[in-house]
């Protein structure tokens, strides 16, 4: 016997999945692979006040906006969540595209920081919360330093953030260990109900 909630998986409403985890664990890499391999999953495009890095495309990787535009998005309630990340720039999830995509029946993936995930737990309590974990602390440090795109002060700031972010794992519904990007990507897609 099935309950109404279990009946007809195809007719079930599309879900929102939140992917969070410590700095440099590879959230960006896993979500980029999701975009490439599982295009049926819609990856939310965040707004940010930080400048683009080489190769980043406005409207694809982020919406790069001014402080004034970001403030207006927040004040007009057009952000589902937002946070100051690493004590510097603001990042947020524009609300409209998420709501439209869910209404269209397509699964949505948000790759955001921990404080953003906590806000989404309040604003979208039905969302699924996934913690991307490193295999161990040393691997996380290697990844953080190895990326080489930030100066020493910024790296130390990110390590401090990472320590407190690792402690948040029990708040999440599911943990995926990012031991190999392809494996972690497939595990996430399978959890969302898409793919392999």
Which residues are near ligand 5GP by CB under 6 A?
23, 27, 46, 50, 81, 83, 85, 91-93, 111-113, 116
CA pseudo-torsion sign 100, 131, 192, 53: positive
For the beta sheet containing 128-133, the strands, ordered from the edge strand earlier in sequence to the opposite edge, are 42-43, 108-111, 16-20, 128-133, 174-177
Smallest gap, in angstroms, from Cβ of residue 179 to ligand 5GP? 19
Q: Which residue is nearest to ligand 5GP (CB)?
A: 116
Task: Specify the length of the chain in residues.
Answer: 196
* Least separation in angstroms between CB 88 and ligand 5GP: 9
Shortest approach of ligand 5GP to residue 12 CB, angstroms? 26
Contact 37, 185 (CB under 8 A): yes
Is the CB of 12 or the CB of 100 nearer to ligand 5GP?
Answer: 100
Instruction: Compare residues 45 and 177 and give the one whose CB is closer to ligand 5GP.
Output: 45
The answer to whether the CB of 19 falls within 8 A of the CB of 27 is: yes
Residue 111 CB, shortest distance to ligand 5GP, in Å, is 5
Cα-trace Rg, the chain: 17
Q: Which is nearer to ligand 5GP, 112 or 184 (CB)?
A: 112
């Amino acid at each position: 016997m099935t309950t109404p909630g279990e009946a007809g998986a195809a007719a079930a409403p599309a879900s929102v999945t939140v992917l969070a985890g410590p700095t440099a664990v590879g959230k960006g890499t896993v979500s980029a692979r999701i975009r490439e391999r599982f295009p049926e999953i819609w990856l939310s495009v965040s707004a940010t006040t930080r400048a683009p890095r080489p190769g980043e495309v406005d409207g694809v990787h982020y919406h790069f906006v001014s402080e004034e535009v970001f403030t207006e998005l927040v004040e007009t309630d057009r952000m589902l969540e937002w946070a100051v990340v690493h004590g510097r720039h603001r990042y947020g999830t524009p609300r409209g595209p998420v709501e439209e995509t869910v209404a269209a029946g397509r699964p949505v993936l948000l790759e955001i920081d921990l404080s953003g995930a906590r806000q989404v737990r309040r604003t979208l309590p039905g969302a699924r919360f996934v913690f991307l974990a490193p295999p161990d602390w040393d691997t996380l440090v290697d990844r953080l330093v190895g990326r080489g795109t930030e100066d020493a002060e910024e790296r130390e700031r990110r390590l401090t953030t990472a320590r407190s972010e690792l402690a948040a794992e029990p708040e999440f519904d599911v943990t995926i260990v990012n031991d190999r990007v392809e494996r972690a990507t497939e595990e996430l897609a399978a959890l969302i109900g898409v793919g392999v």
